[in-house]
Amino acid sequence: MGVSEIQQSTIAESEAANTLAATDPDLWRLIQSEQHRQATTLELIASENHTSPAVMAAVGTCLTNKYAEGYPGARYYGGCQYVDGVENLARNRAKELFNCQHVNVQPHSGAQANAAVFFALLDQGDTYASLVLADGGHLSHGMKINISGKYYWPVHYPLNYDPQAKDFEQIDYDAVRKVCLEHKPKMVLCGYSAYPRVIDFRRFREIADECGALLMADVAHIAGLIAGGVHPSPFPHCHVVTTTTHKTLRGPRGGMIMTNDEALAKKIDKAVFPGIQGGPLIHVIAGKAVCFGEALKPSFKQYAKQVVKNAQALAGALMDKGYRLASGGTDNHLMLVDLRSRDENLTGAEAEKWLEAAGIIVNKNGIPQDPRPPRVTSGLRLGTPATTTRGLEQEQMVQLADWIDQVLTGKGSQSVTVDVRRQVEALCERYPLPH
């Protein structure tokens, strides 16, 4: 972006801010408070990131006014010549980024993308195989209160629970094969929301082929790592791939579906619209186009590499302080911290609250075979996409581990919390949000 473009963007943002502040001061104060919170805290939630100003600018444009039911060249409304260009730009960039032949950028979220694939490829009551939520899956992968568990029939493959095994708490591919051969699912689902290891898509495809199933990957968490070349691609092994466009991909909140199968592509497009959605959010699709364009630049590969380096540095520093990590570490952007190894009475809910007071934002998370309920948990899920976006590197990750340990061993005491909070704010000043 050139100087004149930056100036124009700044002027436009300032004018929009002044209008909103005058029109709705109550909302404006809340937005300003949230902006301040993000600017002065360190985000370690693995599913969150900080978008570029360009992504936010695209999402806040006049495109929000346009109805565009249908697809480019086949809309149910007039006046779509320019929004067709926006959607085609997003689709073409995504195809280049992930080296695939067909992309649907209309899903409003990752869960919507998953629901569309289920609707396209399964009939009500059909069996599919997935990892259970408690072991790192997602609610849209078969949780009983979700449509994926109410209208379809999930069977779950386990992690390896043998503590003597090299792949302890990792995907047990032999067990996956056994479950699939026993139940003959119509679809096998891989890709997770709390799994710190590399996924062997080739092995999953072998299992799917053996049992006559389609293979679906939900790469919402690792899409940016795949785009950046630090995690294997699900293509050509998977029949269909879903993802979010935020998280490691660093775009606006939204979903996407990809495939190289022409017949499946037609079914998926019909499932998204008119199957489960109406008009697409063209302003968000514009933000996706920006994000894909950014991810195609060489600098994004460096970013993805640094995300993994930072995660491994944070993981190593926490283990040095006596914390046990599920599966013994991480290969990607996230880790699951078993708090009981440091204090058997410490819960994820307590740790989340104490760390937030100190300016370190995390989420409580169950660990494999967690005896505590989801609202309490024995663990934390930590991730490095957002801190890496700010420019933090391995040295700062070691410092973060020390602050985390100070707060948790201090049991949220005010003196420790205030001291760490002050240091966090100072670090945030040195490494500001994208601007």
3-state secondary structure of 173: helix
> Which residue among 41, 242, 243, 244 is the active-site one?
244
Residue 430: half-sphere exposure toward Cβ, Cα within 13 Å: 11
Buried (b) or exposed (e) across 395-404, using 16+ Cβ within 10 A? ebbebbbbbb
According to DSSP, the residues that pair with 214 across neighbouring strands are 187
3-state secondary structure of 97: helix
User: CA dist 87 to 62, 285, 344, Å?
Assistant: 15, 6, 51
Residue 32: half-sphere exposure toward Cβ, Cα within 13 Å: 10
> Which residue among 205, 247, 340, 421 is the active-site one?
247
Rounded distance between C-alpha atoms, residue 326 and residue 169, angstroms? 6
> Which residue among 218, 294, 331, 370 is the active-site one?
218
Give the 3-state secondary structure of 324-387: EEHHHCCCCCEEEEEHHHCCCCCCHHHHHHHHHHCCEECEEECCCCCCCCCCCCCEEEEECHHH
Residue 200 designated active-site: no
Residue 69 designated active-site: yes
Residue 67 designated active-site: yes
Residue 161 designated active-site: no
Rounded distance between C-alpha atoms, residue 215 and residue 410, angstroms? 47
Rounded distance between C-alpha atoms, residue 161 and residue 130, angstroms? 17
> Which residue among 13, 40, 61, 69 is the active-site one?
69
Residue 390 designated active-site: no
Residue 342 designated active-site: no
Closest by CA to 42, choosing from 409, 403, 412, 414, is 403
> Which residue among 66, 75, 186, 253 is the active-site one?
253
Phi first, then psi, for residue 103 (nearest 5°) are -135, 135
Rounded distance between C-alpha atoms, residue 221 and residue 193, angstroms? 6
Q: Which residues are catalytic?
A: 67, 69, 218, 244, 247, 253
